[in-house]
Chain A
């Protein structure tokens, strides 16, 4: 008997699956499995004294919505997202426009804006803790301008805004990079044509630049929104959610519930709520972008 000479050809689908396997397996193990575990555990309650865990159905969710601290965290997170996302994107866009102009030293300025990305968030938080101290840089600067000193992180009215400033210091440069790439892709002829038509700088920005960077802008909007839902380090290092819960973002509330209060069931329920919230907000953003696309 001679062995069959015919070489078996694997189908393209099998080959594709083989190439995709590492990514798919890690997606399953690192992402989908923990998500499933989170959902499953959110239906249980762990008891230290009685021992073991008990199935409680949706009780963890019901308890959360009846809990003043959780409701406050939800509100703070929504306010935070509603303010910081438009703010960061607007500033990144304006900076991107500014730094794509051919001006003296614009590359140096651009690098300076991007620099904070290289600093780990925890280190940035420590740096800003010095800025926000009562006798710190922030108040020295205000004094220089003849303004009264501010409480910053120790005031419930100013703490969230102070965290937003710190995060924007890190984030704006990062998002700007994507927008600069987008702006550089806009063909120069379009600007020339607009100039010939007598368009002002503002008109060029509004009618040429803005519509043509909508794709990178959409990415930045979604990615920025998701990343701002995940803010944790500055809150943990600077305010611990205070004063009076004014900076208690959901991510930090989850951490506190899971690791300091030891209430894992409720923490997992809160994770699921945060995931759903993120999904809804981002879905709405896509809906809006799509409808403006088809116009």
Chain B
């Protein structure tokens, strides 16, 4: 009997200890200890992409600067933030340069994990679209340089629209559809036999849903001098979210389909209208369906807003080779040839304005006839309708809690109550900042 109790107690203790070991110790913000370095030698660069993606830009840089070698290491995207928190928190000098998810710039800067790059402000402002400049500014200083950009487009299935006799939407941004018109058309297409009328690619992501609230006049959801006041219970947010909720309750969009399952649904011909990114152009081109592109819609009487933003790169303050890292960073962001080289092995919009101009025609050619007008459309969205995600040290908490609220709203939670609940949760989470 005693032995049994002993055995059970140790089992229990093991289980309990396992539980207790599940969280790591917190990171302390530390003063920078690195230095400029010789301006030559090795630059250690860390990011989530496949090494092949950055091989062209590294090769191009090395050709111009034979005395600097860039060594890239990949950390899977899911582990990137925790890895960065751990290694930067430990003043790890083996990272000189790293990729920064743009909405996280402010938190990383507040933690002391980014080198101040304010001396490049003027050059950056001149080289990239406004939204790509402002997203790197926190507390009046610039902390990272933008590398890639993004936008959203309305894709449509031509065969599905033909079956219902619905006219194709134009790719001309001046003929942008409203969400109200789109729902009417999508319902007609659905009635003619297509399974779903409308689907947003990242169904529960703030990135894609922010424009709905912005277009309905609700703002980004974060206000105040310090950008730490939540504002998601206003009329604009309620209108946008009620509309979003209705698209699911009416069966126009499918519930229970996760973010990574949406684009296959479009390429299998089951969706009439699909809101997705330029990265879909490559994938859709390989599919068997016939499709076209149009600008992302807006609410009638509201403003025309599209998502934007992607990755920036920043320098680790603990680096012992900052000068060389900065040289490479300037090449990859501010030099059009260098910035273009970052996109040579992937389908993404370069952040640099001059590089974008060279890149877009190539992207348009990728889709052949289907993507006619794509280059002009993306250029227009970048400069006219792009609205970056808010810059706030509380962005990470905000995005996480909003993601859950979007999921619940999609599944039928009452919109007003759920937004109030999310506002309360965000306020609670921000208290400990």
Contact = CB atoms under 8 A, between A and B. Distances in A.
A49 B139 CA distance: 12
A100 interface: no
A53 interface: yes
Given A151-B255, A261-B400, A286-B8, A47 B432 contact: yes
B19 A271 contact: yes
Interface in B365-412: 393, 396-397, 400-401, 403-404, 407-408, 410-412
B20 A293 contact: no
Contacts of B235: none
A275 interface: yes
A258 B86 CA distance: 13
Contacts of A279: 12, 16
Majority SS at the chain B contact face: helix
Nearest to B248: A154
A222 interface: yes
Interface stretch (B21-29, B161-169, B179-187, B323-331): B21-29
B433 interface: yes
A268 B261 CA distance: 35
Interface in B193-219: 195
Interface stretch (A32-40, A105-113, A170-178, A198-206): A32-40
Contacts of A37: 25
Contacts of B413: 243-244
Interface centre among A34, A151, A223, A241, by most chain B C-beta atoms within 10 angstroms, is A34
B4 A53 contact: no
Interface residues of B, number: 54
A152 B111 contact: no
23 contacts: A30-B21, A31-B14, A31-B18, A35-B17, A41-B25, A41-B26, A51-B29, A68-B424, A154-B255, A154-B256, A219-B11, A230-B18, A240-B403, A243-B413, A255-B22, A261-B400, A262-B396, A266-B432, A267-B23, A271-B20, A272-B20, A275-B19, A293-B1
Given A129-B258, A134-B255, 19 more contacts: A31-B17, A39-B20, A46-B26, A48-B29, A48-B110, A134-B257, A154-B256, A218-B4, A219-B11, A222-B11, A251-B22, A254-B22, A262-B397, A265-B432, A267-B23, A268-B23, A278-B12, A279-B12, A286-B8
